[in-house]
Each structure stands twice: as structure tokens, then as C-alpha cells.
Amino acid sequence: MSVFSPIVSFTSRSLGLLLIGVTVGTPLYAQQGAPKANDSTTPLHLLQPDYPVPYGQPKIDEVTGVLRRIYTYLDANTPTQLIDKETKKDIPTGGPFNPNAIFKPGDFRLISYEWGVTYAAMLQASEATGDPRYADYTHKRLQFITEQVPYFRNQVTADPKANTPMRSVLAPHALDDAGAMCAAMIKASRTGAVKADMRPLIDNYINYIQTKEFRLTDGTLARNRPQPNTLWLDDLFMSVPALAQMGKLTGDKKYYDEAVKQVTQFAKRMFNPQKGLYMHGWVEGMAVHPEFHWGRANGWGILTAVELLDVLPENHPGRPAILDLLKAHAKGLAAQQSGSGFWHQLLDRNDSYLETSATAIYVYCFARAINRGWLDPLAYAPATLLGWNAVATKVTQAGQVEGVCVGTGMGFDPAFYYHRPINPYAAHGYGPALLAGSEVINMIKKHTFEINDSSLQLTQKK
């Protein structure tokens, strides 16, 4: 087990008394036959704790190594090629349409909301590390997707519900289809590296969000499952970042206004100000709402606020409310962090399992908010680094992210959340882990830390 040792200064005699017969990570009192240690002979506060994850500031090259492992795994296991689903043979570019054409299967789909997060995260990883390979990953795959539009357009037009690789792009029928992919495409379009014209796809996604998704009577984006007129916290992220990015792309204030409206209307129904947490689901007409504070949904909630604040003009009248909500949510989340650095599947139920994707999202959001000046680094940076150290332990040498809850609907009983499976092929963990590591790198570049009285502290000028 890796343990970061505090840097201390005391006499060599005391050091000898402290270390004789002591194994790192094992409490001194547990050592059989070890010299008696008391306050007269040994500075007991300097005994080595048995931390379950590394404690202290990670080095930038260590964080970069984790990101590189994820990239290497994903680049090798998400191919860009059309094949015949029956013969498994490659379909050459420019040939006649083959109704059996599919994207060559890899470990993950190239088009999904989870991969929208991953595409945006790869762009950010390039910015943080200076390594163009991450951005190239996104540019190559978005180029490939855009180039398939003419090939599949007639098939999807003839049957908008057809199970084809491009159905969700050309005929989205849920916010999950539209928002995250749209936001990633807008971010990638601003780099200028994708030569294919993504704007028609972006406009199609935005048109779905703005005009086709079901809404409550006050305009709040909603679903009719599992109950009529249901709000899913997840849907904030599946809509608002795309709207916010569209505002940035076009300069049109209406997109910012709609984004702020959605966040504030969700929050007034679903945010518990006493706990500083969101409930996962809300149903219109229910007199009592069982509040299940699911980890990843709260991740989507705070990530939405961060994404919106990233581009919302400083003079927008809705900005102060969004910033206040971010601060209240961060405070509530910080209070629920476990001693291992992870957060729980149900945030306020400590007997639910520790979950990686939610933890990674919180690490990213805390680090981003610290780096943008929205959160106090003195208060939040140590928890952020602790969270990153936890996430890093779940990235295998092969680059897979473990401990990630699979896709999850909305429920009103605890067993549903407690027993959701975890799986390294749950796509939800990869983008958040890349985001978290990238922004932690930026945070470490901007701030210094020290071990003071054995605890990690932000270094302040005295």
C-alpha cells in the first residue's frame, strides 16, 4: 500500500525509537515486542497512519500516467470502421450502401452520452498535459461519425426508429441521445481540427432539446417514465451544457436564458438546501418524495453548474443564483466524502458501496471551481486531492476504470440503488476520470501543498 509520509524534523534518537520494528502502514501499538512508545520517548502524532488510499499531493507525472493508461486502452478498443454485421468484413469507404452496415464493435459505443463526456474530457486532457493524442482521439472519432451522415441518412429517414449506428445522431428521441454529444461537438468545432462540417448535427441536436423533448407545463424538461411527468436529475446534464455551449458558439442570449431556467426550475423541486444534495427523481403530483441522493446523478447536477458557469457571461442576471447553487451543492457533497476519499453510491447512506464515477465527477468539479475562483481552495483542495488519489487506485494498469455503477434508472426504494452492479465496461467512468485527472493537474500547477501536523494543507504565504 502506498502511503505518503509526512516531512518532519526531529532528533535522530526519536526517529530511531519511532522506526525500530515498525512496518509502514502498521500502527506502532500493534507491533509485538516493539519498544514502548509514549509521549516522553516518541512524537506519537508522527506515527504512520494506515491510509486505505495514498495520502498527500500526487505528482503531475503520476496523474499524467493514469490519464495515459486510460487513453491507451480506449484508443485501442474503440475502432473507427464500418463492417458488415453478418460477414464481419470491412465495408470500404465510398461503396454502395450496405443495409447490414454497423460500426465495428469495440468495448464502448462511439455515440452515447457517456462518450460525449469522454470526447470532451479528451480535449481537456490535451490542454492540461500538452499531449495532442488525447484531442486527436476526439477529432478522429467525431470526424468519422460526421462522415457517416450521407451513408446512413436515407436509411434513418425511411425509418427513424431503425436500429442503425447513426439513428441517435440523425433522429434523436431522448435527451440522452442529444445533450452530451452535442456539447462535445461544439467544443471540438471550436478547435478547428475536425474538418467535416458538424454544424448540421449540432443544430439537429439543439432542435431536439429545444422543441421536441417532453416538458412540464412551465417548460421544465421531463420524461414520462417511470411515471408520468417525471424529472430526472440526470437530464440537467443531458441538456444544459449543450444549450450553454450553443450560447457560446452563437452568442445568442436565448440559449443562456434557457439553460439558467432549466437549472433553477430543477433545483426548486429537487435540491434539498438542508443537506446540500439533490434527490434523483421527482414526480409531479406526488405528495411525498422519497429522497434518494444517488451519487452519479448528483455528479451530473454539479457538473451541469460547472459547465454552465464556464461559459455563462459574467453579466448574465442568472449567474449569481447558479454560483450560489454550486457553492451550496459543493458544501453538501464535501460533508459526505468518506475517509477513503470516495463517495458512496447513495451519498448519505454509508452502508452503500463506494462508487468511482461519482467520485471522479466531484473531483473534477471541485478542482475546476477552485481553479476558476468559485470555491475556496483552502477549504476544498485537500478533499479534492484525496478524491483523486482514490480514483487513481481504480484505474488498472491496463487502463480500465473499476468500481463504476452501470446505467441506472430512477427508483423509490433503497435496494434498487444499493445493488446496482459495478463493471469496468460501464462507460460512465472514463470521461469523468479523464476530466478529474486533467483538472487536478491544473490545480497542482496553480497551488502548492504541504504536510503540516501530518495533514495535507494548501500552502499559504505567512
Provide the grid cell at 107.
468495448
Phi then psi for residue 405, to 5 deg, are: -65, 135
Per-residue model confidence as pLDDT tens for the chain (462 residues): 333 333 333 333 333 333 333 333 334 334 455 566 677 777 777 788 999 999 999 999 999 999 999 999 999 999 999 999 999 999 988 889 999 999 999 999 999 999 999 999 999 999 999 999 999 999 999 999 999 999 999 999 999 988 899 999 999 999 999 999 999 999 999 999 999 999 999 999 999 999 999 999 999 999 999 999 999 999 999 999 999 999 999 999 999 999 999 999 999 999 999 999 999 999 999 999 999 999 999 999 999 999 999 999 999 999 999 999 999 999 999 999 999 999 999 999 999 999 999 999 999 999 999 999 999 999 999 999 999 999 999 999 999 999 999 999 999 999 999 999 999 999 999 999 999 999 999 999 999 999 998 899 999 876
What separation in angstroms does the CA of 257 have from each of 252, 262, 373?
A: 9, 9, 23
Contact predicate 128/441, CB 8 Å: yes
Query: What was the pLDDT predicted at 376?
Result: 98
Report the SS3 class of residue 90. strand
Angle, alpha carbons 401-407-413 (nearest 5°): 120
**How far is 247 from 320, CA to CA, in rounded Å?**
18
How many Cα atoms within 13 Å fall on the side-chain side of residue 28? 17
- Cβ contacts of 262 within 8 Å, gap of 6 or more: 220, 221, 236, 239, 240, 243
- Dihedral of the alpha carbons of 407, 410, 413, 414, in degrees to the nearest 10: 40
Query: What was the pLDDT predicted at 28?
Result: 36
Contact predicate 35/17, CB 8 Å: yes
Q: Where are the alpha helices (DSSP H) in 91-131?
A: 113-129
Contact predicate 166/159, CB 8 Å: no
Query: What was the pLDDT predicted at 38?
Result: 74
Q: Where are the alpha helices (DSSP H) in 174-252?
A: 175-191, 199-207, 234-237, 240-250
Angle between helices 377-392 and 430-446 (to 10 degrees): 140
